[in-house]
Amino acid sequence: MASYHAAVAALLRPTESCTVCLELNYVKRTGERKRRFLAVFKNEQGGEEAGVFILKRRGPDTAVVFDMLPIFSDFRLTVSQSKAVDLNDPERLSAGRTDFTLRMASGSREIKLETAALEKLQPVLIELKRLMAVAQQRGYVADGGTHTWMQYYEHSRKSASAALKQAGHTEEAEQDRAQSTMANPFISFDNSVTGSSVKTIKEGWAAKELRARENQCASFVQKRVFVGSWNVNGQSPSQPLFPWLRVAVGEEPSLYVLGFQELDLNTGAYLYSDNTKEVEWSKGIEDALRTKKHNYVKVASKQLVGMLIVLYVEETEKQHVREISAEYLGTGLLGMMGNKGAAAIRFRFYDSYFCFVNSHLAADASMVDRRNQDYQEICRRVTFPLPAQYSDFTTYAHQNPWVSSFYDARQTGVATTSENAGKTVATIFDADHLFFIGDLNYRISLPDSDVKQIVRTGELGQLLKFDQLLIEQRARRAFQDFSEAAITFAPTFKYDIGTNTFDTSEKKRTPSFCDRILWFQNPLHRNETLWICPKWYRSCMDLTLSDHKPIMALFETAVRVLDREKLAAVNEEITRELDKFENESLPDLGIATNILEFGDIRYNVPVTKTLLIENKGQVIAQYRFIPKPDQDFPSKPWCYVNPPVSSLLPGDQLKINVTILVDNTTVSALNNATDTLDDILILHTENGKDHFLSVSGNWLPSCFGTKLEALCKFIRPVREWSMSERKTMFLSPVAIGDSGPLEDGAFAKRAAPADEDGLSPDPPSLDADNRFSIPFQLWRLVDFLFRYGMDVDNLFTSGGDPAIEEYIRECLDTGVQFDMPVLLLDPEHSGPASPDDDDELDDGEDTPPEELSRANSAATDMDAGSGARTPIDKRVSVHLDVEALLASVPTAHPKTHLGLGSTATLEPASATTASVPLPRGRGRAVAVASMAETLIKFLDALEESVVPTSMSLRCTQEGYLTFVAARQTVLRLPTTSYNVFKYIVKFLRAVVENYKGRSELDVERLAEIFAPVLLRLPKLEGALLTSMAEPIIKGDPVTASAPASGLPSAGSVKQSKAPAGTASKGTGTSVTAKTSSVTVTAASSKVMLAGGTGGAGSVSAATSPNVSANNLPPGKAGTGAVASAQEDIVNRKRRLFLMQLIDLDNPELS
The secondary structure of residue 1060, as a DSSP letter, is T
Q: Report how far residue 384's alpha carbon sits from residue 406's, in angstroms, rounded to the nearest whole number.
A: 13
Last residue of a domain, one of 160, 176, 195: 160
The separation between the first and the last C-alpha atoms of the chain, rounded to the nearest angstrom, is 53
Chain centre to alpha carbon of residue 409: 40
pLDDT for 1052 beyond 50: no
Of these ranges, 306-315, 389-398, 796-805, 1132-1141, the one predicted with the greatest mean pLDDT is 306-315
Whole-number pLDDT of residue 203: 80
Shared-domain flag, residues 644 and 546:
no
Residues 977-993 have a mean pLDDT of 91
DSSP strands (E only) in 7-97? 16-27, 33-43, 50-59, 62-70, 76-81
Count of beta carbons in the 10 Å neighbourhood of residue 535? 16
Same domain, 435 and 336: yes
Side-chain-facing half-sphere of 1098: CA atoms under 13 Å: 24
Band (141; pLDDT cuts 50, 70, 90)? confident
Q: Is residue 1120 part of a domain?
A: yes
Q: Which tens digits make up the pLDDT trace of 42-85?
A: 887 766 889 999 988 776 667 888 889 999 988 998 888 765 54
User: In this predicted structure, what is the pLDDT of residue 1078?
Assistant: 32
More confidently predicted of 833 and 918: 918
Model confidence at 307: pLDDT above 50: yes
State the average pLDDT over residues 109-130. Answer: 87
Q: Both 526 and 617 in a single domain? A: no
541 plus 443 within the same structural domain: yes
Residues 554 and 618 in one domain: no
Over the chain, what is the mean pLDDT? 77
What secondary structure, in 3-state letters, does 162-223 show? HHHHHHCCHHHHHHHHHCCCCCCCCCCCCCCCCHHHHHHHHHHHHHHHHHHCHHHHEEEEEE
Shared-domain flag, residues 612 and 546: no
CATH, residue 651: 2.60.40.10
Mean pLDDT of 2-27: 79
pLDDT tens column, 934-973:
999 999 999 888 988 888 778 777 777 888 888 888 888 8
Across the range 875-901, mean pLDDT stands at: 45
Reported as a single tens digit per residue, the pLDDT across 195-221 is 556 777 778 888 888 988 999 999 999
Say if residues 973 and 951 touch (Cβ distance below 8 Å): yes
> Per residue in 226-284, pLDDT tens?
999 999 999 999 999 999 999 999 999 999 999 999 998 886 666 566 788 999 999 99
Other Cβ atoms closer than 10 A to 729: 23
Q: pLDDT tens for residues 510-537? A: 999 999 999 999 999 988 999 999 999 9
Q: Is residue 34 part of a domain?
A: yes
pLDDT number for residue 155: 59
For residue 691, the cross-strand partners are: 683
Q: 287 and 415 share a domain?
A: yes
The predicted structure's pLDDT at residue 742: 52
Q: How many domains does the chain have?
A: 4
**Statement to judge: residues 635 and 553 lie in one domain:** no
Examine residue 688 and state whether it is found in any structural domain, yes or no.
yes
* 29 and 148, same domain (yes or no): yes
- Between 172-176, 271-275, 323-327, 1084-1088, the lowest mean confidence (pLDDT) is in 1084-1088
Dist CA 750 CA 979 (whole Å): 8
Nearest to 1009 by CA among 795, 778, 796: 796
Residue 4: what pLDDT?
A: 67
Per-residue pLDDT reduced to its tens digit, 645-676: 888 888 889 999 999 999 988 998 998 888 99
Longest dimension (CA), the chain: 144
Q: Please, which contacts does 840-847 make with residues 24 or more away whose CB atoms are closer than 8 Å?
A: 840/874, 841/876, 841/877, 843/873, 843/875, 843/877, 844/877, 845/877, 846/877, 846/879, 847/876, 847/877, 847/878
pLDDT of residue 108: 82
Per-residue confidence (pLDDT) for residue 770, from 0 to 100: 64
Tell me the CA distances in angstroms from 312 to 325, 778, 978, one per residue in order.
14, 106, 108
Q: Is residue 239 part of a domain?
A: yes
Residue 761 domain flag: no
pLDDT at 1114: 37
Query: How far is 629 from 626, CA to CA, in rounded Å?
Result: 9
Cβ contact 275:581 at 8 Å: no
Residue 859 dihedral angles phi and psi, to the nearest 5°: -65, -40
The total number of residues written for the chain in this structure = 1150
Q: Which of 658, 683, 699 marks a domain boundary?
A: 699
Helix (H, G, I), strand (E, B) or coil at 625: strand
- From residue 398, how far is each of 204, 552, 560, 570, 595 by CA, in Å? 7, 36, 17, 14, 47
Q: What are phi and psi of 72, to 5 degrees?
A: -100, 180
User: Do 457 and 501 belong to one domain?
Assistant: yes
Higher pLDDT, 729 or 1090: 729
Q: Which H or E run includes 1002?
A: none
- Check: CB of residue 768 under 8 Å from CB of residue 800: no
Q: Cβ(1008)–Cβ(1047) under 8 Å?
A: yes
Task: Kindly state whether residue 496 falls inside one of the protein's structural domains.
Answer: yes
Q: How far apart are CA 861 and CA 857, in angstroms?
A: 6
Q: Are 790 and 991 in contact (CB under 8 A)?
A: yes
Split at pLDDT 50, 70, 90, the class of 567 is very high
Closest listed residue to residue 312, CA positions, set 323, 303, 299: 299
Residue 632 is predicted with a pLDDT of 87
Write a three-state SS string for 531-583: CEEEEEEEECCCCCCCCCCCEEEEEEEEEEEECHHHHHHHHHHHHHHHHHHHH
Reply yes or no on whether the pLDDT at 340 is more than 80: yes
User: Residue 295's pLDDT is what?
Assistant: 92
**Given a cut of 80, is residue 999 above it in pLDDT?**
no
Which of 666, 699, 732 is the C-terminal boundary of a domain?
699
Distances in Å between the Cα of 930 and the Cα atoms of 63, 431, 514, 704 are 35, 84, 101, 15
pLDDT band at 730 (very low <50, low <70, confident <90, very high): low
246 located within any domain:
yes
CA dist list (Å): 248 to 176, 214, 253, 259: 53, 34, 10, 21
Whether 478 is covered by a domain: the verdict is yes
Using CA atoms, how far residue 1053 sits from 113, 656, 1002, in Å, is 45, 53, 10
- Are 348 and 232 within one domain? yes
- pLDDT greater than 80 at residue 1043: no
Does 342 lie in the same domain as 411?
Answer: yes
The H helix count followed by the E strand count for the chain is 32, 34
Q: Is 90 helix (H, G, I), strand (E, B) or coil?
A: helix
Average pLDDT over residues 679-687: 91
Distance CA 832, CA 923 (A): 14
512 bridge partner residues: 493
Cα 462 from Cα 444, distance rounded (Å): 11
Residue of 395 and 272 predicted with greater confidence = 395
- Per-residue pLDDT, 1121: 56
User: Tens digit of pLDDT for each residue in 150-186?
Assistant: 877 775 655 555 444 444 444 444 444 444 444 677 6
* pLDDT confidence band for 434 (50 / 70 / 90): very high
Beta strands 1088-1089 and 1070-1072, pairing class: unpaired
Domain span at 70: 2-160
Q: How much is the pLDDT for 580?
A: 84
C-alpha distance from residue 332 to each of 206, 328, 463 (Å)? 44, 12, 29
Domain at 469, CATH number: 3.60.10.10
Q: Beta strands 515-520 and 383-385: pairing type?
A: unpaired
